[in-house]
Structure 1
Amino acid sequence: MINRYTNDKIVEIWSDKNKYETWLEIEKLIVEAWSSIGVIPNEDAKLIRNKAQININRMFELEIENKHEMVAFTRAISETLDDEKRWIHFGLTSTDIIDTAQNFLIKESNEVVQNEMIKLGETLFSLAKKYKNTLIMGRSHGIYGEPTSLGLKFLLWFDEIGRQIERLLFSKKQIEITKISGSMGNYVHIEPEIEEFVAEKLKLSIDSINTQVTQRDRHAFLLSCFANIASTLEKIAQEIRLFSRSEIKEWNEGFGVNQKGSSSMPHKRNPISSENISGLSRYIRSFVSVSFENNLLWHERDISHSSNERLILPDVFNILVYSINRLTDTLEKLVIDKNEINKHIKEAKNIYFSQTLLTYIIKTTKFSREEIYDFIQAATIKAMNENKDFKSILEQNNIQKFISINALNKIFKDEYFLRNTEKIYERIDISWLKKMT
């Protein structure tokens, strides 16, 4: 992963130093577990706890010779011990250490993702409250529809982030597990109690059943969850980009005093953060297909998954945390131009009252829906073609046939479009945010 898109916490978690120290800690815990059931002498367990170290450079030297990472690791540890070294890796296969450690690193990384998601949720909820009663033109198919609450846009995303966190919590439950069950996963040379001991110490769950490896459907589900989160990030970023267009200009990313938008055009202010998030979100989603392929291992295990996981796992955590953090920052600095928002509402020249009028006449008269619809549609076409106010066109074209002018005036009130906004806010579950903060 290039430095531009890294997160310090994630980099530290997935560093060689932390990974191999986690391997060493699991080896020590397994020794202590054996000691707790009387297989390894307590004195040897204490010596291993206090003396065993890992010299990464020495390990790499040994790996060049023996072409096996775990053998190089255990022998590098053994070089720091005396006779007690015989208990290192006792009854284990490589993935008892590798997969348990990797799942533990995933656990630590998931906490970082979760915390960044909570911050994003807090920011969205703050914006939702701030703009609850601010009207903005709603659009469907990119075309003016009816005004809606600007706050509802942020509330919608807040609610979606809540669902994404719920999915994340479920995927955490599935992936944050131990795998200490031996070469074929059937505890022939190790006892289930050993795994239970380590799981408790690392605060991991125990896998129900496995082979030589943790089954990769668990990883595929986690990355699918991340891809879903990324789709939400891009959804929000895309909306910012759309509103930043020159012909709209209702929202804009914050722009620093010395910031430059273009190397050739000094006037440019591009939505670079949102575009960055969009691009990285697509990259995150690309990992999903690889993760599903990794579930297709031969018999009890092969290592076709191993090489790509060394890349995609630290990368996906780095990019995801970076993207969430950048989106939060972008939203906190978002510039909402209420003048442009109001200008576009006025530009619509009341055309957005067409459905309001349609439903009112249907409700208060006995005219057929078809007759009313066709009359209103003709009036909207005339208003748009002539760039005139919809209400005035109605008055000029005998709207009195359906409704009085007095009733018409009462209908054409912009605040009508906010009439149930409060009820929507009351529906939204914010308990997850309160619990997590």
Structure 2
Amino acid sequence: MINRYAIKKIEAIWNDEHKLNVWLEVEKKVVYAWMKLNVISEQEYLLIEKNAKINIDRMLEIEKETRHDIVAFTRAISETLGKEKKWIHLGLTSTDVVDTAQNKLIQMSNEIVMKSLIDLTKTLEAKAIKYINTLTMGRSHGIYGEPTSLGLKFLLWFDEINRQITRFELARKQIEVAKISGSMGNYANLEFEIEAIVAKEMNLEVDNISTQVTQRDRHAFLVSVFANIASTLEKIATEIRLFQRSEVQEWHEGFKTNQKGSSSMPHKKNPISSENITGLSRYIRSFTNTAFENNVLWHERDISHSSNERIILSDVYNVLVYSINRLKDTLDDLVIDEQKMLEHINSQYNVFYSQPILNYMLINCDKSREEIYDFIQKCTFETMNNKIDFKQSLISNGFDQYIKDISVLDEIFNINYFIRNVDKIYKRTLNK
């Protein structure tokens, strides 16, 4: 991953030194399991546990000759041991080590993703509560609809991220497994109990059935969940971008004292964080095709998945955590212009009461829906064309021919009508 988007904790997990040390941990745990089954003596196990080391430079030197990374790895380890070295890799195939270790790296990375997601939900929940009674113009198709609670936007995203967390938890359960089943996945050269011992020692679940590899549907599901999360990140970022447009100006990304918006136009303030998140979200989703294709391997296994996984797994974690964290920071610094939102509401001359009026008239007069609708629509067009209050337009066009008591208009034209059930939405959502 390029430094610009690298996350130090993720890089520390996926760098070569740490990866090989987790390979070594798998080898040691297998030796421990053989010892628990009384195949290897405790003394030999303790020697291996204490003395087995991996020297990356030496491993790479051996790999030039063997052209096999695991063979080079086991031989480099063996050079640090005495006679007990014969127990290294006993009964194992390469992917017992590689897949179990990789799933452990995934588990460690998943912890970081989960923390970032939870931190994001806290920010969204706080925004939702803060703006529960703040009115904003609701829009559909990008066009003004009716006023609504600004807080509902943040509550919606809060709820969606929580659904993403639920999906992520399921993906975690399926991917965080140990695979110690041997060359064909049939435990012919291993005792069945070895895998369970290793899994327990490494805080992983057991891969119930595998071939020579952990099946890549698990990885494809995980990456598809990440792609789904990215779609939510982009959704939120896009909304920020839309509200920051010059024609709207209801929201603004925070702008630091010495920040610059353009190399040539000093007045510019651009939504660069949201655009950054948008672009990276697209990049995250691009991994899904590769992840799904990796599930199709020849017979028991091949290594067509191995090369790209060395790149995409660390990259997707770096970019995902970076994007989540950047969105949280963007939301924390978000500037909401409540006065501008109120101006936009007032600019509509109350025409957004058309649906409450429609509903009231349908219930309280005997005219057809079509006749009532056409009457109200005519009044709305007159309202906007002549820039007069909608209530006045209704009266001047004969509202009293439908509803005799026109004083009901004062009752209907109450801005709090549009948020009368918001508390119930909050209670239902937050309680879940």
TM tier, shorter chain? over 0.9
**Partner deviation per Cα, 1:128-147 (whole Å, 9 max, x = no partner):** 00000011000000000000
Q: 2-side partners of 1:354 and 1:278: how far apart?
A: 36
**Partner deviation per Cα, 1:279-301 (whole Å, 9 max, x = no partner):** 00010001001000000000000
Q: 2-side partners of 1:386 and 1:231: how far apart?
A: 42
Residue of structure 1 equivalent to 2:111: 111
Aligned residue type for 2:395: E
Query: Is residue 2:425 matched to residue 1:424?
Result: yes
**Partner deviation per Cα, 1:358-395 (whole Å, 9 max, x = no partner):** 00111122221111100001111122222332222112
Residue of structure 1 equivalent to 2:149: 149
**Partner deviation per Cα, 1:1-24 (whole Å, 9 max, x = no partner):** 101111111010101111000000
Which secondary structure does the structure 2 equivalent of 1:32 belong to? Answer: helix
Q: 2-side partners of 1:319 and 1:272: how far apart?
A: 16
Q: 2-side partners of 1:159 and 1:36: how far apart?
A: 47
Query: Is residue 2:76 matched to residue 1:69?
Result: no
Which secondary structure does the structure 2 equivalent of 1:360 belong to? Answer: helix
Q: 1-side partners of 2:61 and 2:264: how far apart?
A: 51
Aligned residue type for 1:209: I
Q: Which runs of 5+ in 1 are unaligned?
A: 432-437
**Partner deviation per Cα, 1:175-226 (whole Å, 9 max, x = no partner):** 0001100000000111121111110011100011000000000000000100
Aligned residue type for 2:64: I
Residue of structure 1 equivalent to 2:214: 214
Q: 1-side partners of 2:397 and 2:191: how far apart?
A: 87
Q: Where does 1:229-244 land on structure 2 (aligned, <5 Å)?
A: 229-244=229-244
Q: Which runs of 5+ in 2 are unaligned?
A: none
Which secondary structure does the structure 1 equivalent of 2:257 belong to? Answer: coil
**Partner deviation per Cα, 1:139-191 (whole Å, 9 max, x = no partner):** 00000000000000000000001100000000000000011000000001111
Higher mean Cα deviation, 327-336 or 421-430?
A: 421-430
Which secondary structure does the structure 2 equivalent of 1:305 belong to? Answer: helix
Q: Where does 1:354-369 land on structure 2 (aligned, <5 Å)?
A: 354-369=354-369
Higher mean Cα deviation, 398-407 or 35-44?
A: 398-407
Residue of structure 1 equivalent to 2:412: 411
How many percent of aligned residue pairs carry the same amino acid?
A: 62
Q: 2-side partners of 1:89 and 1:209: how far apart?
A: 20
Q: 2-side partners of 1:146 and 1:187: how far apart?
A: 65
**Partner deviation per Cα, 1:345-369 (whole Å, 9 max, x = no partner):** 0111111100010001111222211
Query: Is residue 2:24 matched to residue 1:7?
Result: no
Aligned residue type for 1:208: N
Query: Is residue 2:264 matched to residue 1:267?
Result: no
RMSD (Å), alpha carbons? 0.9
**Partner deviation per Cα, 1:97-147 (whole Å, 9 max, x = no partner):** 000000000001011000000000000000000000011000000000000
Q: 2-side partners of 1:275 and 1:344: how far apart?
A: 25
Measured after TM superposition, the shift of residue 400 of structure 1 is 1.4
Q: 2-side partners of 1:424 and 1:377: how far apart?
A: 30
Which secondary structure does the structure 2 equivalent of 1:137 belong to? Answer: strand
Q: Where does 1:104-183 land on structure 2 (aligned, <5 Å)?
A: 104-183=104-183
Q: Tell me the TM-score normalised to structure 1 length.
A: 0.97
Q: 1-side partners of 2:372 and 2:106: how far apart?
A: 61
Residue of structure 2 equivalent to 1:435: none
Q: 2-side partners of 1:98 and 1:386: how far apart?
A: 73
Aligned residue type for 1:313: L
Aligned residue type for 2:238: Q
Q: 1-side partners of 2:197 and 2:10: how far apart?
A: 27
Q: 2-side partners of 1:391 and 1:344: how far apart?
A: 18
Q: 2-side partners of 1:91 and 1:102: how far apart?
A: 19
Residue of structure 1 equivalent to 2:341: 341
Which secondary structure does the structure 2 equivalent of 1:59 belong to? Answer: helix
Q: Tell me the TM-score normalised to structure 2 length.
A: 0.99
Measured after TM superposition, the shift of residue 410 of structure 1 is 1.3
Q: 2-side partners of 1:18 and 1:363: how far apart?
A: 70
Which secondary structure does the structure 1 equivalent of 2:147 belong to? Answer: strand
Residue of structure 2 equivalent to 1:328: 328
Aligned residue type for 1:405: I
Q: 1-side partners of 2:258 and 2:167: how far apart?
A: 40
Q: 2-side partners of 1:363 and 1:326: how far apart?
A: 50
Q: 2-side partners of 1:402 and 1:250: how far apart?
A: 38
Equivalent pairs, count? 431
Q: Where does 1:191-340 land on structure 2 (aligned, <5 Å)?
A: 191-340=191-340
Q: 1-side partners of 2:324 and 2:297: how far apart?
A: 33
Measured after TM superposition, the shift of residue 405 of structure 1 is 2.6
Aligned residue type for 1:407: V
Q: 2-side partners of 1:233 and 1:31: how far apart?
A: 44
Aligned residue type for 2:420: R
Query: Is residue 2:22 matched to residue 1:22?
Result: yes
Which secondary structure does the structure 2 equivalent of 1:116 belong to? Answer: helix
Measured after TM superposition, the shift of residue 429 of structure 1 is 4.1
Measured after TM superposition, the shift of residue 38 of structure 1 is 1.0
Q: 2-side partners of 1:257 and 1:13: how far apart?
A: 35
Aligned residue type for 1:157: W
**Partner deviation per Cα, 1:309-329 (whole Å, 9 max, x = no partner):** 001000000000000000000
Residue of structure 2 equivalent to 1:434: none
